[in-house]
Amino acid sequence: MTDLAAAAAVKPTPHVKENAIIRFENITKRYGKVVAVDNVNLEIREGEFFALLGPSGCGKTTLLRMLAGFETPTEGRVFIDGQDVASLPPNKRPVNMVFQSYAVFPHMKVADNVAYGLKMDGVEGGEVKRRVEEALELVKLGGYGDRMPDQLSGGQRQRVALARALVKRPRVLLLDEPLSALDAKLRDQMRSELTSLQEKVGITFIMVTHDQDEALAIATRCAVMNRGLLAQVATPADLYEFPNSRFVADFVGSVNMFEGVLDKDEQDHAIVRAQELSAPVYLDHGVTGARGSTVWVALRPEKIEMHKRPEGSSPMKMEDAPAGTNVVSGVIRDIVYLGSETIFEIELESSRRVRTFRSNLTRYDQEDFTWDEPVWLAWHACSPAVLLS
Amino acid sequence: MEQTWRQARGAFAAIAAPPLVWLLLFFLVPLGVIWAYSFGENVGPITIDLTGTFANYMRALEPLYLSIFGKSVIVAGVTTLLCLLVGFPVALAIAFASPRMKAWLLLLIMLPFWTNLLIRTFALIAVLREQGYVNFGIEWFWNLASSARELVGMAPLGDYEPLTLLYNNAAVIVGLVYVHLPFMVLPLYSALDRMDRSLMEASLDLGAGHLRTILLVVVPLAAPGIASGVLITFIPALGSYLTPDLLGGTDSQMIANVIERQFKKANDWPFGAALSFLLMYLTFFAIAAQALIQRKPGRR
């Protein structure tokens, strides 16, 4: 598994350094009997754009607020830049936060908002002015200094919040659901702007999000959380292609999951028998599980090929397909045309439904298949992820 | 919904008419009568001629009455200021309390409302008089200190002279602050409770301490609440009658006490009416000032 994971394409991140700038050590947070964060150990490296990803109530925001100093861990220690920050109040920590609601002071001009933190640090007047202008320039709000926040759009207010935090040159910038309040078009734009901004300033960014697309698109690494526990910490590609559990496979992206029994597990191949699949699943790698144990086969929809199946034909011979390709038969029950791609829902012989995506490569592709058409579904022996939990 | 309400004019009128009639008959008409009296002259014990004279107003502007007006404004102003200084931390504490505590604390603030003002004022007299709890408390410490001095061989203190805490301006202000505090706390609380907590967190995050956060972020954002709290405290304090009457001395009467005397003992209704309307104009002035202050930051 691990050597396979390493094979996934890794985004070049020359600005990420080796040293851990954030370290959570056995962090637990309880509210009465409720455990919000459960014994989390996590290191975040300097220069990373790190995402804390998970459904609401998974503890990701609590973890972020512990870095800012708004929450104190019940157990464990938090280190920022090697320093145990347990006794540091929020105003003494070398981190700054961009709040979900942006929290731009409504009674202050944009420039005064950005200057606020500098004035608190006792920075000289001329220096304040220069750095405020620089920060506004950085977030493309040059010339907006004299506006009041209510004269700005939501996206612009977020830039003010970004400038206000970055102007203090924190060691770490914390972002709480930074894109959730923006509309879809603006969100796409802000995604790439956040990435390039982070590369430009070279500061470690830590983002909390419940949106897996957002985390995959922006982050250099993600931690997926579930009920206070760290489920998996990995690069976006590893999370998607090599999930370590059913929860991660299901939470990150769309997936077809089949419960099965590990029938054969050799060095170079394995076979899983799943009741809902008419043919055994052939895998071109070993699984390291006990023979006869229950496993789950997770298959991403876009990794399933669909071929026409004339009524009454025997299982297709895929001479031109790579060795070990898996094939099952089914009937198309639903088609959702999305423009760039089409989603098909196929009913297998076991009456289990399976999803597959098909890119519309030409303008006529969407006419290829129709409702109630019999098809073959096939996938490569390396495509399914086998999950032990 | 709106459409159907507008169309149902009959129902609308039927609902609106009784309160309107009530207001007209028992508020606007008597007010108009008093207003007319203020331009009248006493010609007999119960006869008033509406001559259209301004004499009552000229008399009300004499230094004697002007000084009482001025004093009333000062007493009400000091009361309001004290209410603000005491009420702001209280409101802040309630706004940040847990939901359970919040309900109890608000109840505590409201509790005095459920007791008659007269009873509350007499209770205050029991606290402040020479044989009251405050003096008892001080006397106890006085005697303790006295015996302590004797123990170390020093001359004992003399007999305790009770402090005069009643029947002066300070007593009036203490009483007014006590009575009007809820009027200040409630609008402050509602302004602070509505405030986006992340604004305060942002201030802390940017390096401000708690005090600077309160001064630079909380107070400016609570300004509308502060303004309405100030107004809602100042107006009734300015017109208070019972508190200065019961707790004040001969020199602590406020304008409402003077007005009362005109209507009763002096039997000079036209002059009392003129004083009343001057007080009302003063109140309007305060409301207008508040509206102006609130409009100033305008661009919000």
B120-153, pLDDT tens digit by residue? 999 999 998 888 888 899 999 998 998 888 888 8
Q: CA–CA separation, B215 vs A260, rounded Å?
A: 64
User: Between residues A166 and B112, which one has the greater pLDDT?
Assistant: A166
- Mean pLDDT to the nearest integer, B200-227: 94
Using the Cβ of A182 and the Cβ atoms of chain B, whether some distance falls under 8 Å is answered with no
At A318 the pLDDT is 47
Radius of gyration of chain B (CA): 25
Equal fold, A2-94+170-249 vs A254-387: no
With bands split at pLDDT 50, 70 and 90, how would you rate the model's confidence at B4? low
With bands split at pLDDT 50, 70 and 90, how would you rate the model's confidence at B296? low
Nearest to B201 among A103, A117, A151 (CB): A103
Taking all residues of chain A, what is their mean pLDDT, rounded to a whole number?
89
Percent of chain B with pLDDT over 70: 96
- Mean pLDDT to the nearest integer, A92-118: 95
User: Between residues A259 and B249, which one has the greater pLDDT?
Assistant: A259
At A265 the pLDDT is 85
Instruction: State how beta strands A353-359 and A341-348 pair.
Output: antiparallel
A71-82, pLDDT tens digit by residue? 999 999 999 999
Q: CA–CA separation, B127 vs B175, rounded Å?
A: 11
Nearest to A99 among B202, B220, B300 (CB): B202
Instruction: State how beta strands A49-53 and A221-226 pair.
Output: parallel
C-alpha closest to that of A283 among A296, A292, A275, A293:
A296
In this model, does residue A323 exceed pLDDT 70? no
Structural element, H or E, at residue A223: strand A221-226
* B63, B166, B279 from B68: Cα distances, Å: 9, 20, 11
- Mean pLDDT to the nearest integer, A219-235: 95
Q: CA–CA separation, A269 vs A283, rounded Å?
A: 5
Residues B207, A70: C-beta atoms closer than 8 Å? no
Using the Cβ of A56 and the Cβ atoms of chain B, whether some distance falls under 8 Å is answered with no
Residues A150, B204: C-beta atoms closer than 8 Å? no
Residues B299, A151: C-beta atoms closer than 8 Å? yes
Q: Which residue of A has its CA nearest to B195?
A: A103
B193: helix, strand or coil: helix
A260-319, pLDDT tens digit by residue? 999 888 888 888 999 998 888 888 888 887 888 999 999 999 999 888 887 766 655 544
Angle at which helices A154-166 and A125-138 cross, to 10°: 130
At B259 the pLDDT is 93
Q: CA–CA separation, A175 vs A208, rounded Å?
A: 6
Q: For the domain A2-94+170-249, what is the CATH superfamily, name and number? A: P-loop containing nucleotide triphosphate hydrolases (3.40.50.300)
Burial class for A363, CB neighbours closer than 10 Å (0-12, 13-18, 19+) = exposed
Q: Provide the ipTM.
A: 0.84
Q: For the domain B57-129+165-295, what is the CATH superfamily, name and number? A: MetI-like (1.10.3720.10)
Using the Cβ of B215 and the Cβ atoms of chain A, whether some distance falls under 8 Å is answered with no
**Cβ(A212)–Cβ(A19) below 8 Å:** no
Instruction: Find residues 152-211 of chain B whose CB sits inside 8 Å of chain A.
Output: 196, 198-199, 201-209
B27: helix, strand or coil: helix
- Taking the CA of residue A160 and the nearest CA in chain B, the distance in Å comes to 12
Task: Supply angle C-alpha A370, A374, A379, rounded to 5.
Answer: 100
Four-way CATH pick for A254-387: 2.40.50.100, 3.30.9.10, 2.60.120.10, 1.10.287.950: 2.40.50.100
Domain-wise residue ranges, chain A: 2-94+170-249, 254-387
A24-28, A92-96, A164-168, A303-307: the lowest-pLDDT one: A303-307
Query: Which residues in A lie closer than 8 A to residue B220 (C-beta atoms)?
Result: 107
At A10 the pLDDT is 57
Burial class for B19, CB neighbours closer than 10 Å (0-12, 13-18, 19+) = exposed
